[in-house]
Amino acid sequence: MKKTLLLILACISLNAQNKDLKIGLVLSGGGAKCMAQIGALKVIEEAGIQIDYIGGTSMGAIVGAMYSLGYSASEIESYLGQVNWDALLTNEVPRNRLSFFDRKADSRYMLSFPIDSGGVHIPRGVNFAQYIMKELSTITQQSYPYIDFEELPIPFYCVATNLETGKPRIFSNGRLIDALRASSAFPSLFTPYLFEDSLYIDGGVVLNYPIQIMAEKELDYIIGIDMQDYLNDRDDLNSVVRVLEQTSAFLNSRNKTASEALSDIWITPKIPEAGVTTFDLFDEIVAKGEAEARKHWDELRALAEKDQGPKREIIKATPKQEFYVKKIQVNGLVSLTPNFVKGKLRVREGELCEVNRLEKGLDQLYGTKYFTNIDYTLVPADTGYILNINLREQHYFQSLKLGLNYSDDYNAAVLVNYTNRNLLFKNSRLSVDFALGDMPRGEISYFVDRGFIPTLGLKLRSYRFRYQNYLNRQALNERIYQDYTLDLFLQSTWRDAYAIGGGLQIEDIGIIQNFDQENFPNFQKGFINYYAFIDFDSFDEANFPRKGFQLNARYRIISERQGFEVFREPSSVLDFSLKQALSIAPKWTLISRVFGATTIGPNLDDPYRIYFGSMGMSYINYIEPFVGYRFMELTGRNALMLRTDLNYEPFKNHFIQLKANLGRMESTFEELFDYDDFILGGYSIGYSYNSLVGPLELNIAGSTNHPDLYAYVRLGFWF
């Protein structure tokens, strides 16, 4: 009898120790540092532990959501390791996804401020996190129809902070993408997320390690992977992001004891070199998370051996790479039409659609700048999927923008821009630019973008700058060039890469001599011009392109006028420019350009002659950069130029540049191809930095035809 009793007690004891355990996993926030959680998860899987509940905050919520959907630790590592984190953090629309008009205009400004009925505002955050929304759309494809997060393959919750009340909100139902976006809205970096008429920011502000919520569940064990910072030393507080991390760490430090006490296994990787945005250290951070988890290997294995319950069927998360579009449903529109959205999306009903093509369409749609956020969901239908495009329109269409530029050619100027979209007509853009400096200039333009349908546009321009008049490389006198132009044009665009059109210009040009007016009298004339053009632009970046083409071709008939009466035989100019950017190695880019121009008919007045010289851009008539010569030093009726730039990027946004060009400047078109004649040549070596205020360039240039060298400096965007 005694032996039987002892046997029963032993069985009871064994069952108490080995049973179907419920195990929870808590993942803190921490930005890029949370990639260490992936490494720790790999060890947890290797130990044989089955997770039954997951809670997370911020980036930890994203990692946790992926795991709850069925991604393995290795699959999470593979997916997040391929994400373009720079694009997510900057939210910059790829240049080739912008409208044709915006590609030119938006490369001028360094700051933008929204305007509404209340006036000019400072943005609530650096960006709207559109590219995070796009990635989350793909990550959470298979979250439909799980409205209750308890029904996910692994039950899940996450935390966000109500910006208006300062209280945490526990997301456990609804759209998973909304919960993750709200939880990861890091203050100042991303704009607060509007959900159910409340604004939310990063859950880490009030509850970065949501262990208390997990402790309220009926669980047997809780594993925590805590990436929280517990106060940095003074020497480590060396950036804005580090200071923000320190402020959130105040609360974390007070909760440290409770966090450790409530966690049965507390994994705390320490990675002092990593911060919220250091995703460039992805592999190192993952490895350190794995190494830290292995320190708890004995605890993890002991827990796995205790859990003797039936194993859950593993549901694999496999985001679709393509799907059949049965129907497109557009949600959230207020002022725009579904046809406008579908036209920009370039996805058709009744077709097989690749996810990659869909994401490019989302970029194209976001590039219109009519929306703050765009995401998509796939709803299974009988023979395919219903593609839901979920939109949030901008609540403002006006903005104030600022730019800055200094160059040796144009001196210093500050650019102030006012932009108003949808004024009078949908898809319209009014842009007013004023360059404030010693030579003020301005431009007003209005255009309605109707795609391939030809549309009338208007441009008013006032342009002033100083330049030297040269003869045989000797500066004779300084001149002031001033131009006043009214431009009416008709333009058609296709796929936001091609533009074709023509127009009428009424132009008044003056050239003022600063001295010796007897030998060099002032010039003041009026002109009426007609032109046709074709443009193509697929450059990936405006200032330092790595791939793509640019083509600009124009034919212009130029007639001198008095009033609106033409009194002199007109002349014409045909010019073209073709540029190609080619990435020839990971850090090397080759940019080639061919430019040609020819004058047909009588000699033109000075403002319409072709000019070569310097390294700066000009947006008026036929003034072209030519390395090795001074600004507007060379002039003629016909010109041909070949140029090659070699860019080497040893560090991100830092460039070593070699530039060289050959050219001809002749009286007749036929002489351009007289290879026995004089050939112009120039070269330069320089350093450039792609800064927040625009490119910084330092160059030393020379010419094969003249022995002297000169320095060239510029800072900021061209305008």
C-alpha dist (Å) from residue 514 to 177, 467, 480, 630: 65, 11, 8, 19
Residue 5 pLDDT exceeds 50: no
> Rounded distance, CA 94 to CA 87, Å?
9
Q: Closest Cα partner for 223 from 366, 23, 421, 498?
A: 23
Q: Looking up tokens 């044709």, which residue turns up?
A: 100
- Residue 13 has a pLDDT of 41
Task: Name the band, by pLDDT with cuts 50, 70 and 90, for residue 453.
Answer: confident
> Rounded distance, CA 649 to CA 555, Å?
37
Residue 7 pLDDT exceeds 60: no
272: burial class by Cβ within 10 Å (0-12, 13-18, 19+)? exposed
Residue 1 pLDDT exceeds 70: no
276 versus 118: the higher-pLDDT residue is 276
Torsion of CA 295, 299, 304, 309, to 10 degrees: -150
Q: Give the residue-averaged pLDDT of 403-418.
A: 92
| β-bridge pairing 710-716 and 474-494 | unpaired
Task: Name the band, by pLDDT with cuts 50, 70 and 90, for residue 254.
Answer: low
Q: Give the residue-averaged pLDDT of 14-25.
A: 72
DSSP annotation of 206 reads H
Tens of pLDDT, residues 420-444: 988 888 778 899 999 999 889 999 9
Find residue 391's DSSP bridge partners. 374
Q: What DSSP line would sit under 367-432, residue for residue?
A: TTS-EEEEEEEEEE-SSSEEEEEEEEE-S--EEEEEEEEEETTTEEEEEEEEEEESSSSTTEEEEE
Tens of pLDDT, residues 129-139: 888 898 999 99
Task: Name the band, by pLDDT with cuts 50, 70 and 90, for residue 61.
Answer: very high
DSSP annotation of 8 reads H
- C-alpha dihedral sign at 407, 411, 412, 413: negative
Of 32-36, 370-374, 551-555, where does mean pLDDT reach its minimum? 370-374
647: burial class by Cβ within 10 Å (0-12, 13-18, 19+)? buried
Find residue 415's DSSP bridge partners. 403, 435
Gyration radius of the chain's alpha carbons:
32
Residue 9: partners with Cβ closer than 8 Å, 6 or more residues away: none
Tens of pLDDT, residues 487-527: 999 999 887 788 999 999 999 999 888 665 556 678 889 99
Q: How many CB atoms sit inside 10 A of residue 660's CB?
A: 17
Residue 8 pLDDT exceeds 60: no
Is pTM beyond 0.75 here? yes
E strands of 275-354, at which residues?
A: 322-331, 351-354
- Residue 668 has a pLDDT of 87
C-alpha dist (Å) from residue 560 to 363, 460, 566: 46, 19, 6
Q: How many CB atoms sit inside 10 A of residue 404's CB?
A: 18
> Rounded distance, CA 178 to CA 182, Å?
6
Tens of pLDDT, residues 173-231: 999 999 999 999 988 788 899 999 899 999 988 899 999 999 999 899 999 999 986 55
> Rounded distance, CA 482 to CA 522, Å?
12
Residue 656 pLDDT exceeds 80: yes
* Contact present, 40 and 289 (Cβ < 8 Å): yes
Task: Name the 3-class secondary structure at 577.
Answer: strand
Residue 4: partners with Cβ closer than 8 Å, 6 or more residues away: none
Q: Six-digit token pair at 560?
A: 């001198």
- Residue 663 has a pLDDT of 93
- Residue 548 has a pLDDT of 94
Task: Name the 3-class secondary structure at 221.
Answer: strand
Q: Closest Cα partner for 152 from 238, 26, 18, 55?
A: 55
Q: Give the residue-averaged pLDDT of 240-260.
A: 62
Q: How many CB atoms sit inside 10 A of residue 360's CB?
A: 17
Residue 315: partners with Cβ closer than 8 Å, 6 or more residues away: 69, 70, 153
Q: Round the average pLDDT of the chain to a whole number and report it.
A: 87
Q: Give the residue-averaged pLDDT of 58-82.
A: 95
561 versus 312: the higher-pLDDT residue is 561
Residue 717 pLDDT exceeds 90: no
> Rounded distance, CA 110 to CA 106, Å?
9
- Residue 77 has a pLDDT of 96
Q: Looking up tokens 């355990």, which residue turns up?
A: 21
What's the 3-state SS for 25-74? EEECCCHHHHHHHHHHHHHHHHHCCCCCEEEEECHHHHHHHHHHHCCCHH
> Rounded distance, CA 156 to CA 67, Å?
9
Q: What single-letter amino acid sits at 119?
A: G
- Residue 236 has a pLDDT of 61
> Rounded distance, CA 541 to CA 369, Å?
18
Q: Give the residue-averaged pLDDT of 653-676.
A: 89
- Residue 704 has a pLDDT of 85
Q: Six-digit token pair at 299?
A: 């605890």
What percent of the chain stands above pLDDT 70?
A: 90
Tens of pLDDT, residues 315-330: 777 778 899 999 999 9
- Residue 93 has a pLDDT of 78
Tens of pLDDT, residues 578-631: 999 999 999 999 999 999 999 999 888 889 999 999 998 888 899 999 999 999
Residue 384 pLDDT exceeds 80: yes
Q: What angle do CA 88, 77, 281 make, to 5 degrees?
A: 60
Q: Six-digit token pair at 98?
A: 């912008």
Task: Name the band, by pLDDT with cuts 50, 70 and 90, for residue 14.
Answer: very low
Residue 313 pLDDT exceeds 80: no
| β-bridge pairing 198-202 and 119-120 | unpaired
What percent of the chain stands above pLDDT 90?
A: 54
What is the separation, in whole angstroms, between the first and last Cα of the chain? 99
Residue 631: partners with Cβ closer than 8 Å, 6 or more residues away: 408, 409, 467, 468, 613, 614, 616
Task: Name the band, by pLDDT with cuts 50, 70 and 90, for residue 252.
Answer: low
Task: Name the band, by pLDDT with cuts 50, 70 and 90, for residue 249.
Answer: low
